[in-house]
Every structure is written in C-alpha cells, then in structure tokens.
C-alpha cells in the first residue's frame, strides 16, 4: 500500500498541515529508495523535527521574536544568528518542548538520520514552511470571488492587497525567506528551495489573473504578459512588506481603512497594462504612455 495513502492513527492526530502527505514536499531526506523517502516524509518523528524548527523560526524571526542581548549596556547590541538558530543541536533541543502529539525526544543523530546534510534540512524546512503558507486564509476566497464577479472589484482589490501585505508582515515564513535569500549565495540547495517558492506562488497568481481577465472582459496590452504582471506584483508586495517591517512609520498600511499601497500598485498595473478585450486599436504600454505624455 502506498505510504501516502496508508492511514496512520498517530499521524492523523497531528495538527494541520503535519497530518497531510509530505512526500512531495520533503525531498532532501536521506533515504535511498522512493518508498523509504515517502515513509520518512510521513513519519511522525520527521513531523516532530519540522514542528520544532517552525517554532524556532517564529521565536527567532517573529512576529514577537525573542532577542538576546550581546551587551547589557548597549540596547542595540543584540545577537543576530541568521540561520544558525536552526542548527542540529538547537532543533533537537527544541523537540523536547514539542506539544502532544508530537515526539518529545530529540537527538542530533536522529535528525542526521533523516537529513544527512544541514543544507538539505534547511531546504526542506523552507519548502515545508512556504508550502504550508500557501493554504488559503479565512476570507481570502470571498475577496477573490468579489474581484472576479462582485459589484465593486476596486474595493475588493484594496481589501485583498491589504490582507496580502498584512499576511506577509505577520508571517514568520516571510521573514525566514528574507534571511534565507541573504544566506543563499553559493548554496544551490537553499537557492532552489527559494526558487520553488517563487514558481509555486507565481503559478497560483497566474491562474487567478487569467480568471480575472476572462471575468472582467479584459486583455493584456501588446508586449505585456501575465508573467510580467505576476513578477511585478510579487516584487512590489515583498518590497512593501519588507519596508513595513523595517520602517513601521512609513505608512505603507492603513489599518483603520484596511488599505495599503499595494492596492494602489495593483490598480496602477491594471490601468497601465490592461485594456478592454474588444478594443479595436490596441496600444502597447509604451504607446499608451507616449500618448499620455504627448497629450499636452
């Protein structure tokens, strides 16, 4: 019987998404055969190490991250461990604090039995965390449905963009992806994990953009692709979230109105890069900009 379909009463007691089939997510496991890798990916001990790593990520990166002072007389002198907080010994110690029903006995040797190299473990933690982050949050489906078919798509776009930036800022996995990006140079395993996050996230938005064009009777301007828009909006969202984290006074997010600058950026992309599907004289983005600049 396929391990992905075998019912494990212990695994079924684990919280979501640890109770799901992780065989396609965890690909760095130290097993020789596909069966062995599938079995290890869905083993409760493996889930316990992942859970400990997720908890360390939140503790070290936030929200509400714990800071360790390097100098009691200098409040700005803090330890900045980057990814060292996910060392084999640190994760193994954290396993001992796992809540039930996760395992509570952790040893570096057990972790090395599953991940031979530390970079493989880091990459699988990235894959798992960023994969789990893709699950729709409460209310997101309602917002996307309003954008596609509702009477006020502009308001719905503002709401979705506000939710997206807030989700970035409040997610320890977004913070981990920033740290991992800084650490990724020269580490092909970690680089590939980050690239997978971008590809999978981009595919989700690409599908939504196709639905949006069809539902609202729009098309891309000549010379502009949906892939261009996905890359633009993803980069803007990440940049605004990063700016909000580093400079909360920058007024990127307006909680009172539930709006943010990403909403304005999305509307600007729509106004600049799209046109009615029935337009008889399509204009490229450059032509539209030139006509606007020459209007005076």
pLDDT of residue 4 exceeding 50, the answer is: no
Average pLDDT over residues 18-28: 88
Give span(s): CATH 1.10.357, the chain: 136-293
For residue 117, give the 3-state DSSP assignment.
coil
pLDDT of res. 168: 86
Tell me what the pLDDT averaged over the chain comes to: 83
- Cβ burial of 73 (10 Å; 0-12, 13-18, 19+) is exposed
- Per-residue pLDDT tens for 47-74? 999 999 888 877 766 665 555 665 566 5
pLDDT of res. 296: 65
pLDDT of res. 265: 96
pLDDT of residue 28 exceeding 70, the answer is: yes
Q: Can you list the pairs that 233-240 forms with residues at least 24 positions away whose Cβ atoms lie under 8 Å?
A: 233/205, 233/262, 233/265, 233/266, 233/269, 234/198, 234/201, 234/202, 234/205, 236/262, 236/265, 237/161, 237/164, 237/165, 237/168, 237/262, 238/168, 238/174, 240/165, 240/265
CATH class of 136-293: mainly alpha
pLDDT of residue 259 exceeding 80, the answer is: yes
In percent, the amount of the chain with pLDDT more than 70 equals 82
Pairing state of beta strands 218-220 and 274-276?
antiparallel
Average pLDDT over residues 2-27: 77
Average pLDDT over residues 206-219: 94
pLDDT of residue 184 exceeding 70, the answer is: no
| pTM check: above 0.75 | no
- Per-residue pLDDT tens for 124-160? 887 787 676 555 555 578 888 999 999 999 999 999 9
pLDDT of residue 233 exceeding 60, the answer is: yes
In percent, the amount of the chain with pLDDT more than 90 equals 41
pLDDT of res. 199: 83
Q: Can you list the pairs that 203-211 forms with residues at least 24 positions away whose Cβ atoms lie under 8 Å?
A: 204/134, 205/230, 205/233, 205/234, 206/230, 208/144, 211/148
pLDDT of res. 101: 92
pLDDT of residue 226 exceeding 90, the answer is: yes
Average pLDDT over residues 87-105: 91
Most confident of 64-68, 88-92, 117-121: 88-92
């Amino acid at each position: 019987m396929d391990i992905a379909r075998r019912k494990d009463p212990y695994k079924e007691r684990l919280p979501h998404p640890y109770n799901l089939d992780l065989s396609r997510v965890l690909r760095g496991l130290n097993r020789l055969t596909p069966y062995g890798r599938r079995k290890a990916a869905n083993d409760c001990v493996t889930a316990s190490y992942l859970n400990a790593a997720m908890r360390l990520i939140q503790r070290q990166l936030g929200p509400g991250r714990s800071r360790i002072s390097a100098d009691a007389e200098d409040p700005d002198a803090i330890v900045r461990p980057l990814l060292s907080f996910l060392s084999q010994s640190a994760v193994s110690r954290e396993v001992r604090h796992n809540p039930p029903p996760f395992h509570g006995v952790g040893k570096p040797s057990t972790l090395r039995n599953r991940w031979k190299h530390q970079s493989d473990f880091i990459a699988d933690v990235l894959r798992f965390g960023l994969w789990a982050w893709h699950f729709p949050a409460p209310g997101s489906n309602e917002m996307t449905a309003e954008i596609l078919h509702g009477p006020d798509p502009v308001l719905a776009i503002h709401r979705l963009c506000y939710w997206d930036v807030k989700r970035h800022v409040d997610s320890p996995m977004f913070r981990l992806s920033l740290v991992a990006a800084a650490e990724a140079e020269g580490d092909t395993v970690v680089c590939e994990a980050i690239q997978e996050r971008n590809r999978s996230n981009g595919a989700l938005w690409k599908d939504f953009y196709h639905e949006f064009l069809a539902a609202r009777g729009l098309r891309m301007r000549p010379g502009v692709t949906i892939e261009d828009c996905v890359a633009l909006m993803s980069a803007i969202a990440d940049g605004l979230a990063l700016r909000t984290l580093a400079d909360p006074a920058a007024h990127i997010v307006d909680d009172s109105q539930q709006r943010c600058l990403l909403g304005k950026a999305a509307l600007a992309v729509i106004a600049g890069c799209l046109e009615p599907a029935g337009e008889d004289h399509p204009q490229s983005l450059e032509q539209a900009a030139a006509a606007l600049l020459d209007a005076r």
